[in-house]
């Protein structure tokens, strides 16, 4: 997989491309990653890559010529890779999109700065605009890193154990269970004993159930489609237990004796 990033700040990527999972993948030759300086394609003595917006207003706009020339250079290096613009107005990035992008032979990622890039460049050269969320960053560089990191993890062989990518939150459509490591007792707080039981099936059951419970509490929207039979049985068992608990309660608190009955 090849990543080519077009940026005004190529120095931001030196640590990113050489450390951690991505750094290892680059060292192993599974990923080729390079940041090109858009300013190298800017004309004039000052190599100006931005200018004032037509129509007035605050901020600067990235000029189309250096961007287009940088994309031409990138396309010579990666002729069939899509050109992805990082933009808060783009399609929302997700694990699903990471999977789509991981199937591409490579990615050319364009990082905007200032008020953004000239619209004519977008129309002419960009295949896909991607947003990493509903907030505004100062530049596309952190967004490009997010995209590359998530995509690289899906490239075969990049994770030591490819199975771990398959069980992670969002890949399964559920949040992943919590993780524990040594010590068994951390400041009086015990790790769940089942995880030390050596009983593989019980561990798997615990992981599935706690993952489901987390999803229910933290991201119930993820359960709106595609419940398995096993999940339905689990949810029914929990709801019956909760209903039983509520039914067996007398209402506590100052106004409980005179207050209205809680809705059932």
| Interface with ligand SAM (CB under 6 A) | 86-89, 111-113, 115-117, 131-133, 135-140, 143
Phi-psi region of 133 (alpha: psi -120 to 50; beta: other; left: phi over 0): left
Smaller CB distance to ligand SAM: residue 1 or 86?
A: 86
CB of 119 to ligand SAM, least distance (A): 11
Would you say 7 or 215 has its CB closer to ligand SAM?
7
Q: How far is the CB of 182 from ligand SAM (least distance, A)?
A: 38
Closer CB to ligand SAM, 86 or 175, in the complex: 86
Q: Report the distance separating Cα 261 and Cα 264, nearest Å.
A: 9
Q: How far is the CB of 14 from ligand SAM (least distance, A)?
A: 20
> Which CB, 117 or 154, lies closer to ligand SAM?
117
Strands 189-190 and 185-186: antiparallel
- The number of residues making up the chain comes to 264
> Which CB, 114 or 238, lies closer to ligand SAM?
114
- Cα–Cα distance, 256 to 120 (Å, whole number): 67
Quote the DSSP letter at residue 177. Answer: P
Q: Please report how close the Cβ of residue 167 comes to ligand SAM at its closest, in angstroms.
A: 27
What minimum distance in Å lies between the beta carbon of 41 and ligand SAM?
Answer: 17
Are 115 and 89 contacting, i.e. CB atoms less than 8 angstroms apart?
no
124 φ/ψ angles, rounded to the nearest 5 degrees: -85, -40
CA distance 132 to 119: 20
Q: How far is the CB of 67 from ligand SAM (least distance, A)?
A: 11
Question: What distances in angstroms separate CA 50 from CA 9, 66, 143, 193, 236, one per listed residue?
Answer: 14, 9, 20, 60, 59
Shorter beta-carbon distance to ligand SAM: residue 89 or 256? 89
Judged by CB, which is closer to ligand SAM: 37, or 231?
37
Q: Shortest Cβ distance from residue 215 to ligand SAM (Å)? A: 25
The three-class DSSP label of residue 37 is strand
DSSP string, 65-112: HHHHHHHHHHHHHSTTSPEEEEEEEEEEP-HHHHHHHHTSSEEEEEE-
């Amino acid at each position: 997989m090849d990543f080519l990033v077009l940026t005004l700040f190529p120095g931001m990527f030196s640590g990113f491309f050489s450390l951690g999972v991505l750094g290892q993948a680059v060292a192993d030759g599974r990923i080729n990653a390079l940041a090109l300086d858009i300013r190298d394609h800017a004309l004039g003595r000052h190599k100006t890559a931005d200018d004032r917006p037509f129509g007035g207003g605050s901020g600067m706009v990235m000029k189309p010529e250096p961007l287009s020339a940088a994309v031409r250079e990138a396309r010579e290096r990666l002729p069939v890779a899509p050109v992805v613009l990082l933009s808060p107005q783009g399609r929302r990035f997700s694990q699903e999109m990471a999977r789509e992008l991981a199937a591409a032979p490579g990615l050319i990622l364009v990082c905007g700065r200032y008020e953004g890039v000239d619209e004519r460049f977008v129309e002419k050269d960009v295949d896909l605009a991607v947003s990493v969320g509903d907030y505004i960053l100062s530049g596309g560089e952190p967004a490009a890193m997010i995209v590359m990191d998530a995509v690289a993890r899906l490239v075969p062989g990049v994770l030591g154990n490819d199975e771990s990518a398959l069980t992670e939150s969002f890949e399964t459509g559920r949040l992943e269970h919590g993780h524990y490591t040594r010590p068994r007792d951390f400041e009086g707080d015990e790790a769940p004993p089942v995880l030390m039981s050596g009983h593989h099936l019980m561990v798997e059951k615990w992981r599935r159930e706690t993952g489901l419970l987390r999803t229910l509490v933290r991201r119930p929207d993820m359960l709106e489609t595609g419940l398995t039979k096993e999940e339905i049985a689990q949810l029914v068992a929990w709801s019956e237990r909760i209903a039983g608990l509520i039914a067996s309660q007398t209402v506590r608190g100052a106004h409980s004796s005179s207050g209205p009955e809680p809705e059932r």
